[in-house]
Structure 1
Amino acid sequence: MRTVVFAPGAKDANTNIDLPSGSPAIQEVKNAEIFRGSDGTAAAAKVSATPTRVDADTVKLDVATLTRDLLVLRYIAVGEVLQP
């Protein structure tokens, strides 16, 4: 299982979000969390998000992201096999 953490920038809900270059291709998305940035006076708030695979390097989320958000995306990469 892969975990990629990146700042996708401000995106509307259900808008394509590309993985950062060099990220392994997506076979199946597992989950996503957004850590909503603040002005430095409070801890980042955790926001639930449901990811949907669009293609090997693109996902959509059911919630919008903001400029300061960090996206934590967990997925199975193409060719990976998870042991039970």
Structure 2
Amino acid sequence: MKNEDRILELLVDLSLKVDGLTGKVDEIDQRLEKVEARLDRVGNSLAEHRDVLLENTAILREHNRFYRDHEKRIERLEDKKAG
């Protein structure tokens, strides 16, 4: 009877420990879900920023072409005046 009681006591103790670990695993899983959600938001934000940067780069390239073309026109006008 003593051994059976001890085995039962150990099984109850083990069951409580397993329940505690299961609770911790669930808590960790919830935290991971929150982290994943944050990473998704950060990823979306980065994608939006990348898109804005690409648009701004395209605008700057266009302005740069316009500036170079404008410089060439000025040089031609100055050459005409001098010539």
Q: Which TM-score applies when normalising by structure 1?
A: 0.14
Task: Give the structure with the higher percent helix.
Answer: 2
Comparing both structures, which one devotes a greater share of its residues to strand?
Answer: 1
Larger Rg: 2
